[in-house]
Structures are given as C-alpha cells and as structure tokens.
Amino acid sequence: MKLWGGRFEKETEGMAHDFSSSLPFDRRLAPYDLRVSEAHALALRECGMLAPEECEVIVDALRRMKGELDAGTFPFQDDEDIHSAVERVLVERLGETGAKLRAGRSRNDQVAADLRLYLMDEASVLRRRLTDLMACLLDQAEENLGVVMPGYTHLQPAQPVLLSHHLLAYCEMLKRDMERLAQARARMDRSPLGSGALAGVTFALDRSLLAEEAGFGGITGNSMDAVSDRDFVADFLYAGALIAVHLSRLAEEVVLWVNPRFAFLALDEAYATGSSLMPQKANPDVAELVRGKAGRMFGHLVSLLVMLKGQPLTYNRDLQEDKEGVFDAVDQLKAMLQVMSGALRSAAFDGKRMGEAAGEGYQNATDLADYLAEKGIPFLRAHEIAGRAVRLCLEKGVGLEELPLKDYQEMEESIDEDVYRRLSVDACVKARDIEGGTAPSRVEEALREARRWLEAEGTRP
C-alpha cells in the first residue's frame, strides 16, 4: 500500500521502487513512528476529527503493533518506508477507522519527528557511554596517582608530568563531548508535528499536545523550516565526529604505549590479537580500528553537509540520504566507546618504566632555565645557558642533574648547590603547582572535581 497512489495509473517500476525504498534501513525508526502516530490520534480526537471510540481503537492497535515490534513479529512487507508499513498494517486491521489517522499529517513532518526522537534517545545513550569511559580513565588515574611519565610535544620528550594528569586531559575532552551532545539534544527537542507537508494543516491540531504526547519539550516555529531542517542531524554528527577525534587520539596513544620501545602499557589479552604468521605478536587491533573508524565518522558529516547545501525549501527526497550515515555513526560510536572502555579498564600501566622514561631526554631543562630566571637572569639568557648545559651533557653522556657544579658555574657563576634540588623528576612535577598544572596536589584536586562533575552528569536525561 502506497500513501500517494491516487494520482497514478501505473505501478512503480520494480527497480525504481527498490532504489527509492528506505524500509531496509529506516525500520529502526518504527518505535518512534508508532509513538508519533499515537500522539497524532490523540490530537485528532481533541480537535474532533476522530471520535473517542475511534481514537481508542487506533491507540490500542498501535500499542499491539509495538508489542509485535518488540517481539520481532511485526508483519513487514515490501513497503516503501516505515510510515507506509505502519499505516498499511493499521488499515489492514481497522479498515476505514485506521485510514482516518492520515488526516492532518505528512510523511515530511512524521520523519522529521521520528528522527529527532531517535537521535534524542541515542544522544543520551552516547552520553552514558562517554561517562563510562570517563569513569574508567578516572579509575586508572586514581590507581596510578603519583606515577610520573614523559609529557610530549612534537612526540619528543618535553617535561615530566603525572600519568593521572595525562589521563585527566582526555577526561576534559570527554566532558566537552558530553556537553556538545547535551546541547545538540536540547536543540532537537522541538516537535515539527502539525507542520504537514510544508505549510501547516487546516485542522485545529493542538501542537503543544502533540509535542507533549510524542515526548518533545516544545514545538518548532516555522512549518517550512520544520520539515526541511536537518541541522539537528548535523549537530549530532559534528558532536560524533569530535568524539571520534578524541577516541582516535586516545587510541593512538595506546598503540604507541604498548610498543616495546615505550612499554608504558600492557593490554589485556582479551583486547589484543595475534598474527597469522608471527607467533610473538600481540597487536592492539582494537585501538587501531577505533583510529580507523574516525575517518568514517567524518565522512558521514561531510556527506550530510554536501547533501544539504543545495536544497531549496522545503522537503526534497535527498533528505532520505540523511539516515544511513547517521545510523551507522550511532552504531560505530557506541561500539568504539564500549570497546575503549573495556580495553582501558583491563589494561596495566608500567609505572617503573614510565618513571625511567620521564628522566630521559633532558626534560628538566626548562626547570634549569626557570631556576636561573628566579636568580634574576633574563629568561632569554637563562634559556641560552640551559641550552648550553644540555649540549655539554650530551657531550659528556650525563643528565643535567649529574653535571658537576663547576661546569655549571663556568657557564653562570650564580648557580650553586641548590640547583640539584630543582632538577629531579619529582621536583619538576611538584613545581607545576598552579591551577590546571601537573603538581600532585593540583591533580588530586582535579580528580575530585572530575568525580563530582561525573556524578552530576549522571543525573541528566
């Protein structure tokens, strides 16, 4: 059964039907289409387009269909889309009473409503997955509190930091991800129902009632915009793309850290794979796949933006192409978050090796320059002296903390024995005692604040 056949004499050519049918992928919107249909039935009753007994019969039938959907027994056929499937079954079972439900609505406002409700739910699911990953990072940060590691710029050893501080950096990224999803969800939470095909409808539908019954917090302001707007999909995909960026960065660190040249991290064997040829291999394939799937997320966002950019108002069939990408993005993001949480929760950090690496590469050179600046030497000159000291250490094969005092004093006579107290790894870390810094007291404070934030986030829808 088609929802538009009266004007046509010919049946749609089979290949054209298959090409334009969206049921193979939009059937996941079925629960939302049933919810929207029930809300529409109630609104039709309130404006006198359905008798109370007709509304009751329709609502009962829709709820039975929901039970069949949950049980996997819903009688899908070769329908054009999910809206056609729902209406076909309703008319088959209720006859003319079921056919009355179409009054005052269009597939244009239906699909806009269905997709908004779906993404509102999935945004909440993704936020829960993000909180799981953030909790995992916080657990590891607390368990490894005090472990020192190299901090990098340009992937070169730069300054020593606490591992907990490093992990908390990813928590900051995840916090922004959760905030973006919450903002995107808030913008989705407007009902387009009552907009009809594009101009509104002639029946006195109570749009606020429709919105409330369907599960929206408000209504859209313009019927033409409401049926053609997919900004909310772009919002979601943009938020998803940045989640993928952050997961990919974290995955890249895992790939590096499990390499024996780093040896900072050991993945549980349940999250590693072997080689079909080389018996010794334990590959971080899970992290590599997360890194690889990030590009897929970017592609979905770009595809949507390109599809939207040339469309005149209002609805165009191009908009059917918004769904497969967003459905795949939802599935992949949920899997990526879940597998990264599992991998990191069961992973083990090698604090001894990280501490050794924190003492390599003259990462205390900035502290030497700071020490000289505190003695009144202009930082430009202090930086130059510290650089000369590094060059001398390279020639002698020693660390800055091992260079004899006489060598220091030949470069700058104001240097005395207290310089060595500033050059240990622990001293370098403790010296960054500033809000947002890596000093242990600041990191402990940041951990507590992150826990408080996470607990509050868990109360949001």
Q: What is the dihedral of CA 38, 39, 44, 50, to 10 degrees?
A: 20
Q: What is the pLDDT of residue 4?
A: 46
pLDDT along the chain (461 residues), means of 10: 61 72 91 98 98 98 98 95 96 97 96 98 97 98 98 98 98 98 97 98 97 98 98 98 98 98 96 92 96 97 97 95 96 98 98 98 98 97 98 98 97 96 98 98 98 86 65
pTM equals: 0.94
Catalytic residue among 106, 164, 191, 275: 275
Phi, psi at 128, each rounded to 5°? -65, -40
Catalytic residue among 17, 20, 84, 154: 154
Q: What are the structural domains, with CATH classification, of the chain? A: 5-103 (1.10.275.10), 108-145+160-352 (1.20.200.10), 358-441 (1.10.40.30)
Known catalytic residue: 275? yes
**Strand, helix or coil at 29?**
helix
**Reduced 3-state DSSP string for 163-211:** HHHHHHHHHHHHHHHHHHHHHHHHHHCCECCCCCCCCCCCCCCCHHHHH
Q: What is the pLDDT of residue 7?
A: 66
Q: What is the pLDDT of residue 140?
A: 98
Cα atoms in the Cβ-side hemisphere of radius 13 Å centred on 197: 6
Greatest Cα pair distance in the chain:
101
Instruction: Identify whether the C-beta of residue 72 lies closer than 8 Å to the C-beta of residue 23.
Output: no
Q: What is the pLDDT of residue 11?
A: 76
139, 155, 189 from 263: Cα distances, Å: 21, 15, 47
Known catalytic residue: 154? yes
